[in-house]
Amino acid sequence: MRNNLFVLLLFYNFSGFSRSAYPPPDTAVPGDVRITEIMADPTPTAGLPEAEYIELYNASTKTINLTDWKYSDATASMGIFPAQLLLPGEYIILCRVADTLELKPFGQVIGLKTFPALNDGGDAVELSDNTGQLIDKVNYSGSWYRDENKAGGGWSLELIDLQNSCGSANNWIASTTAGGTPGKENSVKASNPDNIPPALQLAQAKNPNIVLLQFNEKLDSALSVSPGFYRIDPNILVTSVSVVGPEYTTVELTLGSALQTGQLYRVTVTDVRDCSGNRLTNPAQASVVLPETAQAGEVVINEILFNPRSGGVDFVELVNRSGKYISLQNWQIGNIKPDSATDLRLITPDLFLLAPQQYVVLTTRPDIVQQHYPKAKEDAFLKVIGMPSYPDEAGTVVIRDATNQEIDRFAYREEMHFKLIDDVNGVSLERIRLDGPGTAGNFHSAATSAGYATPGYRNSQGQEAVTPAQAFAIEPKVFTPDGDGDQDFTTINYTAAQNGFVANITVYDTNGRLIRHLVKNELLASQGFFQWDGTDNQHHKAPVGYYVFFIQLFNLQGSVQTYKETV
């Protein structure tokens, strides 16, 4: 009876695992289990099932218990492993539960009830053990494929050299075999040692006494902490240095004196080493500044694409029109719905500095926006985890800072687009005057010549402010409303001598026929402008010729003023 009991207990203890006999599991350390393959975009297929997956490999000599390990991406979503052992030199495939059967022919598979979706254009893939210790992490991007056709879908990214634990982009490439090699040795396996020194990517002020430096690869945490390797000008002493784990790509500098708000500093770094021992011999430099608090209207919504073409995504472009350096950390972008509820999304949890006059484009898929608009400035994009839903018909974009203060808002409507555009899908609305208000009259459809959007650079319809010498000034006097971006509309610029005046503006042709009721009973600001796009009340293009603006001003005291301007 005693022997039977012993056998029963032995079966019970091991039944939860995929092995009936195994060595006792060992404790894993970072790098023991590697992420070796990533299938982020399985469509269209190139020989594999239409399923996202990541592949893990036990690069150690240990038997590792994966029970309660975690897979996560850049979102808060996380998948938890069931009971599973991974023997030395073994591969295992992670995927959704629903895709398990399709991927089983390729090797061992773990189907996770929660499998965070992989973004096609790039994501952060993290593997942590049951204690939360980070075991491996890959921040991939679409450029890692090094093949435009394969980046379009159906091919996995594969790790080239397992022995190169420091390389990132230079140690990954698209698979060369039938879409990918899940569950087995990678098709691109080769010796690919890291012989390149680390590169300084970014310097940012965490607070007045701490500066963070971001490098492109892991540093040697013991050989990169000498304060003498770092200099901050003008006149800031670095008193201590730490390389921040578990990723070891960030260096924290503690300063002997506080940074001054708005002062631009220069950080110089030399002699640090990456984890392969490569030394940075040529000094690297970056600018750093302690950001200032933004006031309402200092960062503005400059462009929005709310009705993308087929396969496209929305984007919102912001511009810092102040003289300050402003951090977007913990700011939010939202859409105010008709019932006044606000759908808010975090822009970034990280330090992100917006310099004076700098543009930033917010979207979930920078790669798609850049594909649709080839002139887009790649370095102006900030990838966000999620964007609010912006309906095609109408919506209100709102920007709030980390204290929930509203910085800017813009209420758009589809009918604001230039009436002579046949298909407005894929056409952005651009701010006309950067210093002007966030109202409908200060936005216009992007020009045909610019490809219908200008993400990351000056708007195709942008204009400098016009200060009229008299009450009204028309600029330009001659315009061609054809959507090519060259004088597509004219502006009626005004300066009000007194507050409280209301304007009516009507457009007539030279024969006195009514063409357009342009402005009706609008209260004037101290200065501003109205635009006319050359269309009549039926939204048809008016014939080529001269036209007269009849402008009437009145106030509640009975004062009435009239003006006529020709265009």
Q: Which domain holds residue 482?
A: 466-567
**Nearest alpha carbon to residue 166 among 210, 204, 136, 133:** 136
194 in a structural domain:
no
Give the distance, in angstroms, between the CA of residue 149 and the centroid of all CA atoms in the same chain.
Answer: 23
419 and 272 in a single domain? The answer is no
29 and 113 in a single domain? The answer is yes
342 and 433 in a single domain? The answer is yes
182 in a structural domain:
no
Residues in Cβ contact with 499 at an 8 Å cutoff, skipping those fewer than 6 apart:
526
231 and 116 in a single domain? The answer is no
343 and 375 in a single domain? The answer is yes
29 and 139 in a single domain? The answer is yes
CATH of the domain at 380: 2.60.40.1260
Residue 214: per-residue pLDDT: 94
Which of 233, 266, 289 is a domain's end point?
Answer: 289
The residue written with tokens 């929305």 in the block is: 314
77 in a structural domain:
yes
Q: What is the pLDDT of residues 172-218, one digit of tens each?
A: 999 999 899 999 999 999 999 988 999 999 999 999 999 999 998 89
Bridge partner residues of 96 (DSSP): 112
275 and 335 in a single domain? The answer is no
297 in a structural domain:
yes
CATH of the domain at 279: 2.60.40.1220
Residue 222's Cβ-count burial label (10 Å; 0-12, 13-18, 19+) is: exposed
211 and 346 in a single domain? The answer is no
Q: What is the pLDDT of residues 45-63, one digit of tens each?
A: 999 999 999 999 999 999 9
Bridge partner residues of 411 (DSSP): 396
User: Total structural domains in the chain?
Assistant: 4
282 and 323 in a single domain? The answer is no
CA distances, 216 to each of 170, 197, 266 (Å): 11, 10, 19
340 in a structural domain:
yes
497 in a structural domain:
yes
Per-residue confidence of the chain (567 residues) as pLDDT tens digits?
344 433 333 333 433 444 444 556 788 998 999 999 999 999 999 999 999 999 999 999 999 999 999 999 867 789 999 999 999 999 999 999 999 999 999 999 999 999 999 988 888 899 999 999 999 999 898 889 999 889 989 999 999 999 888 877 889 999 999 899 999 999 999 999 988 999 999 999 999 999 999 998 899 999 999 999 999 999 899 999 999 987 889 999 999 999 999 899 999 999 999 988 999 999 999 999 999 999 999 999 999 999 999 999 999 999 999 999 999 999 999 999 888 888 999 999 888 989 999 999 999 999 999 999 999 999 999 999 889 999 999 999 999 999 999 999 999 999 999 887 889 999 999 999 999 999 998 999 998 878 899 999 999 888 887 766 667 888 888 888 876 667 888 988 888 777 778 889 999 998 999 999 999 988 887 778 898 989 999 888 889 999 999 999 888 888 888 888 888
Which of 156, 174, 192 is a domain's end point?
Answer: 174
2 in a structural domain:
no
416 and 488 in a single domain? The answer is no
Q: What is the pLDDT of residues 417-468, one digit of tens each?
A: 988 788 999 999 999 999 999 999 899 999 887 889 999 999 988 888 776 6
- Report CA torsion sign: 102, 105, 107, 108: positive
Single-letter code of the amino acid located at 435: D
Tokens describing residue 12: 């019970």
107 in a structural domain:
yes
472 and 551 in a single domain? The answer is yes
What average pLDDT does the structure give for the chain? 89
- Residues 126 and 117: their CA atoms lie apart, in Å, by 13
The residue written with tokens 């106030």 in the block is: 555
352 and 475 in a single domain? The answer is no
Which of 234, 258, 289 is a domain's end point?
Answer: 289
